[in-house]
Structure formats: C-alpha cells, structure tokens
Structure 1
Amino acid sequence: MCSEHVGAHACWQLTKMNSAGFITLAEELHSYILSFLPWRDILRCTSVCKSLHQTYMSSSELQYITELGGQQLIPLPNADLDNHASFPERLQLLRNKAQAWFKFDINRNSFGRFPVPTQYLDSDVVSGELVDGHLCLWYADKDSAAILPILPKPSQQTIEHDWSPGSLCSVPNGDVFMDPAQNLIAVATFDNSDLRSSDEVRVVLGALDEDGAHPQAAGRVLLQSTVLKTGHDGFVSDGLKVKGLGRHIAVQRCRVFEHGSTDGGAKCMWWLQIWDWQHSTTSDSLLSDTLEIASGRAESMGVDFCFLGNDRLLIASGDLKLYSIEDMSQAPRFLGCFLLPILANSMEFLLTNQDGSQPQAQQMPWTSDPRHRLLSLVMGGPGLVFVISTRIFFDLNMFEGMTAAITWKHWGPLNTRVFDAHWEPSHIAITGNRFLRALRVGLDGMWYELYMIDFSPLAMKHRQGLGRVVSEPSTVEVQPGGKITTFLPYVEVIVGKKFGYLVNMWVDNDRIYLLNEPADMVWARTDLPEFKVVEI
C-alpha cells in the first residue's frame, strides 16, 4: 500500500479509535498521522486535545503545512531552496514573506528608479505585460518585440528581436502573447478589409530570441477551424485577444454590430479557439456564442476569458461560463454558468500570472494554489471591479442541479468583494490572494496612494496590528437604483507615502513594479517614464 493510502487509512482510524488509545501512541506517530490531514483539520484536532496541541507546537512540519494552507499556497514538487532547507527554515521564511506585505514602505523598500529605454516610450508599448520580472513589449506598427528584465539576474537576459516589415504582423488587426519562461511568442492576426466576407485568423508561433518556429511547437501556424461568417450591416468594432498559459494558447474574436438584436440594441458575435500548442495538429477545440448588447452600448465588446490553472477556462459573456479543458482532444466541457447581478458595457479579467507549470519563474518552493487564488473582473459602464475567489469554480458539488444557471445569491456575496472602479485597469494588480489598487488623491488628482488588500485566511494573524480588518458586508450602489452587497473578508493596508503620476502597475510574489512619471512633469513631458521597483 502506498504511503498516501497508508496515511489516509491512518486518518480514518484516528476518527474511530477512542482518545485514550490514540494518546498512547508515540508523538512521532501523532505527527505522522496529522500530516496527512488538510490544514484546517490539523488545526481542529490540535485545538481540542492538549496532547495533540503539544505535538503541533513541537512540529515545524505540521506548522509549515498549516502555514501553506492558511496562505493558500501549494508546494512545488521539484523546487529546491538552499539545498533542501529544513522545515524550520522554510517555515520562518514563509512567515517572514507574509508579514513583509504588511510592513513594507513604498519608499523605504524601493530598489530605486530604472529608466525605460527611449526606443520603448510609445504609449502602446508602456502598457505591455510584465511576466517573471520581464517587461514584454510589442510595437504593432514597427514589427518589433522586446523582453526586458527590470532587475537583471544572472539567469536573465534581454531579448530584442526586430522583424522585417510585414513579416510578423502583415495586417494591422492583431494581438500578441509573449512567455519568456517558454521563450514563446504567439502573434494572432486577421484581415477584415472586406467586412462582408469570411476572414481567417492566423496564429504564428515562434521563439523570442531567434527567427523560425518554436522548437517545441507542433507547427508554425495555427489556423481557426471555423471561419466567422457575418454578413450583417451596422458594423461597429472587430477585436482579437490572444492569451496563453503553459501548454494552452487561446484566441478570441469578437464582432459587434448595431441593430443586430431583437430589441433594437447591438449584437456581439464571438468565437474562441484553444490549442495545445505543442500538439496543435491533434488538440484544439472551439467555442462560440452571440451576446445581446443593450442599445447605446454597441461600441464595446463585453467578452473576455481567462485560464484557471491548466484544466479550466472561464469566459465572461454576459455572465461567467466555466468549462473544463483537461481533455484537449474533445470540445470544452461545460461545467456551469455563474450569473452576475448586473449587465456591463465591457468586462476584463485580471488574474495572477503565477503558475506551478513554470518553476523557473519561482524563487521559492511554493506557489499560489490555482483553486484558491483571486481574479478580478473589471466592469465598464457601471464602473465596478469584482474581486472573486477562484475556489468557487472548483467546488461545484454545492451547486448540484444548478449548473445551467447558478444565481448570484447562491455563489456571489460570500465569495466576492465589489469595489468602485473609477480608475483604469492599469491601476489594479493581483497576485495570489493579494489585490492592489492605486487611488488618485489630492485636488489635482496627480498623486496616488497604494492600497494592499489581503484575502488569505491567515491575513489577520500576520498583520500584527497593522491595517484595517474588514469582515462586515459592504454595499455599492449601481445605477439605476440597484445595490450589490458582498462579504468576502480581507485586511487592508495603505502602503507608504503618496507617489507621482501612475502609468501602469504590476505585481508578482516578491515585488511591485510601478511605471510612473513625476507629477509635475506629466503635461510637459520633460521627464521620461521610469520604473520604481519595491521589494516585498
């Protein structure tokens, strides 16, 4: 019998035997049996028995298990920390990292300012993505891509690659996904020069550091399997998004038409195709739908998608639709529809980019648990941001018989917090179970304060008297005449002093990256944007 089954059987026996018999076992057996329990059960057992409490207090391994669970982290199986550091060392490091989030100061902890290279000062470029400490930039009009490490390490290098005109993106409609950990670039394009015709989306895969196909890709070009046919008048917008996570690449195409709906509003026609890019000749699947848009909102595309780990996909299309993509040889399997309390002009997901499939990006032997992370859904129109615990999308047993339409009252209030979102998505960032937002302050609105909000179960323990505990419900008003009340508890800390005009913000497990300009230089543009990196 494998050790996992032995442990499970031992845990079952623990619940059956009388307390006197169990207490006679050696302390190391107590510790061994408890180590197979979930972290909450460990705490329950050790809180009702003095002997087990003593076992827990003397076991760094048990405390490490509960600390990981309480911070909603999971160990990386192949990670190595200082040549297999002991459990006491890992436990102390884990606790120090958690407490640092409540104690850091945006000025005291700063590494300093790092200028953005002059050739990358285009407004479209500075809104690029930051992955694993690298800023990923793309010039659509120059066919140029660059991967710049903000704080270079011996293992990192600057990757700059210019393509000849037209070779990277031969038409002006496209999007780019870059993954430095896998040396991957995916460029999605289409040609809509004739709006009544069927046009095809192409996704070109390549390596970031050289020409040609990626060595692990099954093919150089991914083609959509179903062409989007429209033929409607009243064309408003046509957009494309490409995203990836691990082995998955997905492309979403949306077309919006005025007067396309039955009530005189607009219609958004969209499809989304997913590939396993390393086996794309045999593994791809397609989703499509039509979304009715209220009159006066035809200029927006209220559709977005995100990966929840390596096996689930969430689509925002009116409501939130959850699919399993574990088996890429078949169409995505519908798991449930989570109804939202309001309609929105547009919806955009923000989700941490940490993932256990990319251990090279990790400096610690743990990562955030895909089943217990945060994602945010930014809603244009009502001006709200929903911070959602991803646990709700992995524990579907509680909704048995409701998967076709899970009403907001059954899933939303206890698993979300809703905030006013009268700021740009670039002023919001998420990592693991921490949510950061930058708010304008002052009469001129040229200064910002940074708020760190921690939703992990042990946040109150680690705050050590710092910050504001919010456990009571909060209500935001939605026009016309609506209200949304949510309950997910958190701890909030205002971070350090005010800082100058914010262009963009990113965060990872260890650092906050602020791309800002001195407030008194914004309009004259006499100073260059620069990075301020804050160590956590």
Structure 2
Amino acid sequence: MASMAPTTRATRTRRMADLHVDIVLGIFYFLDGQTLVRCCSVCRAWQETVNGSTELKYMIELWADGMIPCPFSTLSPVDKLERLNQWRRAWLGLNWASRTVFRIDNNPRAYELVGGVFAQQNTWPVSDFTAIRLPSAQGGGEITRTLNVGVESLDFAMDPTQDLVVFLHKEDEIGHFACRAMSSLRPHPLAASSTLSFNLRDDSVRRIFLQIADDVIGLLFRTSQDEGSLRLILFNWRRGIELVDLVGPQFPPSVSDFAILSPRAYILASVNDCSYMPGGPRGVGEIHIYTFNGTRQNHPARVATLQLPHHNPTRYLVNMIAHSGPFCAGPLPGALFSKSNDKRICVFSLVYNGGEGYSLYVHHRYLEKYLVNEGAPPIIPWDEWGPNHSRMLPGRHRFWLRYVHGERVVRPAGDFEHSNRVEIMDFGIIPLHPGFNDEASQSPSAEMCSQPSTIPSGDVFASDVTTALPYRRSFRNTEDHHVQFLIDQDRLIGVNDAVDQLTVYTF
C-alpha cells in the first residue's frame, strides 16, 4: 500500500492560491475589517483581491472607525464608501449639514438621548413621556408625546434599537420595572413579563442610576443617606429573572456611581474615603470591575480594581461619576452604520475637596480586558495602568449627561459661561487610509494630541500626573451660545441657558 505524502504548509498555501478569485471574494465577504487587514499581509494576490473590491474596502474603513454596517442598506458599495467618507470629513471639520431647533421642558423628571431619540419624562400633573426622533442629514424629525404612561415613573431608560423603554416606579415598598415598546408604550412583546418587581425594603428611593444593556436592566439606588442603604438590582428583562440583589455591606466603601460595561459586566466608582483608619490618610479613588451571570440569579465576581493617583493628605476625592455612550443592542434605525459597543470611551469626572475638578478618559476595551481574569482580582496602582492607558485633563463636564458617544466626547471650549465654541475630543485614533490622514493633519479646525500631558504636583496631587492616551481635537464656533452640548453618532445638540431649547446640528 503506497504511503500518502504529508500535506505541507506550502501545499496548503498553493491550494488556497489556486482558488478562483470569486470564491476567495465570497469567503472574504464573511470576514470583519480587522481580519481583512490581516489577510492583505498574507500575500500579494489576497491584497490585490481586497483592494479590487469596493465592498471589502468599505468594511475595512468601517472597522477603522469602530463601526458596524447596517444589514438593510440598499446602497451600492461605491455610494456607501462615499457616504462614510463624507461623514468623516464633516465630523473632522465640524461642518454640520443642518440646524434645527426644538422646544423642551426645562425641568424634566428625567431625560435620555439614545439611538437618535431625545426623550423627556415628567410626573406632574401626570406622568407624561415625550420622544423627539431627531433629524438626520437626510431630513426628518418627529415629536411624539404621550400625556399619561399609566405609572408614576421615577426614572426611565431606553434603547430605540430594541423599541424598548423601561419605566421605574414604586408602590409602597415594592419597586417595579415597566417594560414597554417605545412605539406604542404597550407591554414589550419580547419581555417575559410586562412588569418586573422587587422588594425595596423601604419606602424611599434616592440617587437613582438606571441603565439598559441589551437584555439587562441595572439599577443602583439608595433608600437613605446612610452608607449601608446602597442597593444594586440587575434583571434579565427578556427572561423575567432577577440576577443580582446587593445591599450596602456587599459593596466597596463609598461607592459614588455605577455603569454597565456590557450585558455581563459593570463597574463601580468609589471615592474610597472609608478604607483607612479614622484620622489617617484617606484612600485614593478606585474603579471596581465586576462580571455576573446574565441568565440566573448569582453573586457578581470582582475581577479587578484600578486605583487613581495619590493625593495630598489634606485633600480627598468628594465625588466620581462614570459616564460613557449608551449600549445599543442593534443597528441604529435608518442609519447606514453604527458604532460598535466595544469601541467606546468612559469618562470619569473627579471632584476633590476645594472644588477642583478633573476628567479621566479610559477606553472600554482597556477596562474589559480584565473580564477574562480567572485568578485573584488584582488591585492595580495608578502608576501601573494610568499613564499609558488614560488621559487626565483639568476641568469636568457640566450638569447633563450624554456628552459621550462611542469614542467622541463633546464639551463647550474655554469659558463655559461665555464661549460660543464647541470642542470634540475623538479617542478613536486608528490609522486610516493616507488620504484621510493627510486631510486630518492639514485641517485648520483639528489637531492631534499624541504627546503626554502633565498635571503638576502641588495642591491636589502628591506627584505629577502624566497621561498619554492619544486623541484628536476638533473645534468650531457656533452662532448661538450653549451652556451644554450632547452628542450622538450623527448630531451635536446644544442646550441653551434657559435649558428649554435644543439646537440640533446634523452631520
């Protein structure tokens, strides 16, 4: 019996090279942009195959911007690539295509900006709900108001990509999540139950932090000012299962905020001022990263703790707020592409006694790299992570959230009270095609910030705080004065002094 010659790597390579170009293209269409970039480095034939396909080049360019394609687009590959490049140039130079003004309630109980929808909810004289589907570069814009949602809502969260809005309300010592379809405010068809209930163990609900990430609802709240009154509730709303119920002693000391990283992970921000003996130096702030099981009741596992810079003995961290763009479970309605949920920046607003404020910017992907940790949860000092994986700058963001979308952050530039200038910080710095890089470097309204920046030691910090996370800064003057800006994928939204008007700039 004749022996069979072993299949060598060269033989396998020749067989791949022998495939007809249409077959290779058919395989490549199933790959993501990052894998396509790697394929280009395998051989010249594959590189030429990718470069010869506008569809594949479009997929690579989407990946470079941290985007995922809309599966329902009927545009040609050429048109999709041109639309992407137009969108890039518009954001680089802050050249918005239109400006539209909407009146809003200047004292809402709660508000949200997710997936191209700005919504407000009030409780007096009845619990109403107003949703503004914001205009796009192609036009549109629609206001829908429901005068009575049927419950006295304390807060709400929403995800238009799931047609989902969740109203938080209570009856005596029982809390409820009402899961509704945004389009009708009827019970959501995918919810296991239209109402998910939990025991408050008290009649009071304070300092509410309510969030949605795909199939998970997360709620952090207090029932009093006492440290031990803190509660964290997590539900899987599609299965109708309470996943997590934590109370005060199960938390790190002095938790000030909560944010969902992904549908199976969250972070707690802690000012950590109770971790040392009375009279001794106060602890540095900490970012605690947790994972949990999203399909059954369980106890979350802490996988890592990141520490903030050491401060002087007379100073301490008063408050730390964690904020990032919303987690959307699906593609944005009507959009050609959407930001990937793993390409987001998290902003930690730090306030020290005396009023000094700082903003700390960290990529979600850096925080999420600890989710695979299976050993003892490490406590990582600032010097081992902060200088290379964050950017800390003086000043903190204003009173409204939703100033972050994806890897972009917006804020008024200069004097907040008198400036007409808007500034965008884009932390999505990935090498793009040479033409766009040349355009970016020559733009008079944009600059790269790739050099480290330092906050010198002195009044607040015990030693210099140097950080080096790169970003691109774009800026432009506006016709109107705005005290606050919000942002989503295709819009800047300016808020006026009276906080009763939105000016929507579309890209």
The question of a shared fold, defined as TM-score above 0.5 by the shorter chain, is answered with: yes
Partners of 1:206 and 1:96 lie apart in 2 by 36
User: Post-superposition shift, 1:458?
Assistant: 3.6
Q: 1:240 to 1:36 in 2, by over 3 A?
A: closer
Cα distance, 1:427 vs. partner?
A: 7.6
Within a 5 Å distance, the mapping from 1:113-512 to structure 2 comes to 114-116=101-103, 120-122=105-107, 124=108, 128-149=111-132, 151=134, 158-162=144-148, 168-169=152-153, 174-179=154-159, 182-189=163-170, 201-206=175-180, 214=188, 216-225=190-199, 227=201, 238-254=206-222, 267=227, 269-280=229-240, 282-288=241-247, 289-293=250-254, 302-318=255-271, 319-334=286-301, 336-342=303-309, 344-353=317-326, 355=328, 357-359=329-331, 361-381=332-352, 382-396=356-370, 401=375, 403-426=377-400, 429-441=403-415, 445-458=417-430, 462=436, 464=439, 465-466=442-443, 467-477=446-456, 479-494=460-475, 496-512=476-492
CA distance in 1, matches of 2:375, 2:412: 41
- Equivalent pair of 2:131/2:145 in contact (CA under 8 Å): yes
Cα pair distance change 1:286/1:411, threshold 3 Å = farther
1:80 corresponds to which of 72, 75, 93:
72
1:190 and 1:240 map into 2 onto residues whose CA distance is: 16
Structure 1 residue 513 corresponds to structure 2 residue 493: yes
AA matched with 2:163? Q
Letter in 1 for 2:290: Y
1:160 and 1:247, CA in 2 relative to 1: closer, same or farther beyond 3 A? same
TM-score normalized with structure 2 length: 0.77
Q: Measured at CA, do residues 247 and 38 of structure 1 come closer, stay the same or move farther in structure 2, by a change above 3 Å?
A: closer
What corresponds to 2:277 in structure 1? none
- Contact kept in structure 1, 2:206 and 2:221, CA below 8 Å: yes
Change (3 A) 1:432 1:182: same
- Structure number with the bigger relative contact order (C-alpha 8 A, sep ≥ 6) is 2
The CA deviation at 1:253 is 1.7
SS at match of 1:531: strand
Q: Is the 8 A contact 2:409 2:487 kept in 1?
A: no
Does the alignment pair 1:104 with 2:94?
yes
Give me the whole-angstrom Cα distance separating, in 1, the residues matched to 2:13 and 2:102.
64
Instruction: Classify 1:459/1:441 alpha carbon distance in 2 versus 1 (closer, same or farther; 3 Å).
Output: farther
Paired residues for 1:25-36 under 5 Å:
27-28=21-22, 31=25
Unaligned runs of 5+ in 1: 1-12, 192-198, 231-236, 259-266, 294-301, 523-527
Percent identity, aligned pairs only?
19
2:282 is aligned to none
Contact 1:449 1:499 in 2 (8 A): no
Please give the alpha-carbon distance, in whole angstroms, between the structure 2 residues aligned to 1:138 and 1:243.
15
| Alpha-carbon displacement from aligned partner over 1:467-517 (angstroms, at most 9, x marks no partner) | 2112121222470434322222111111x2145442442211111111214
Deviates more, 1:208-217 or 1:462-471: 208-217
Question: Which residue number in structure 2 is paired with residue 196 of structure 1?
Answer: none
Residue number among 58, 62, 65 corresponding to 2:56 in the alignment: 62
Q: Give the secondary structure class of the aligned counterpart of 1:315.
A: strand
Distance 1:400 1:470 in 2: 36
Gaps of 5+ in 2: 1-6, 272-285, 310-315
Tell me the TM-score normalised to structure 1 length.
0.73
Aligned residue identity for 2:120: L
Letter in 2 for 1:111: R
> Residue 268 of structure 1 contacts residue 292 of structure 1 at CA under 8 Å; is this kept in 2?
no
Distance 1:449 1:332, change over 3 A: farther
Matched, 1:90 2:73: no
- Give the C-alpha shift of residue 210 in structure 1: 6.7
* Partner secondary structure for residue 451 of structure 1: strand
| Paired residue type of 2:260 | F
- C-alpha deviation, 1:272, in angstroms: 0.5
Q: Name the CA distance, whole Å, in 1 between partners of 2:79 and 2:133.
A: 29
Once the two structures are TM-superposed, the CA of residue 529 in structure 1 deviates from its matched residue by 3.8
Deviations 1:262-286 (A, max 9, x none): xxxxx46422011122332x34322
**Deviation of the 1:206 alpha carbon:** 4.9
* Shift in Å, 1:80: 0.8
Tell me which amino acid in the other structure corresponds to 1:86.
Answer: S
TM-fit CA distance, 1:390: 1.0
Could you tell me which amino acid in structure 2 is paired with residue 309 of structure 1?
A: S
Supply the distance in 2 between the matched residues of 1:111 and 1:459 (Cα, whole angstroms): 31
- Aligned partner letter, 1:162: N
CA separation of 1:144/1:339 partners in 2, compared to 1, >3 Å: closer, same or farther? Answer: same
- What letter is aligned with 2:196? L
How far is 1:374 from its partner? 1.5
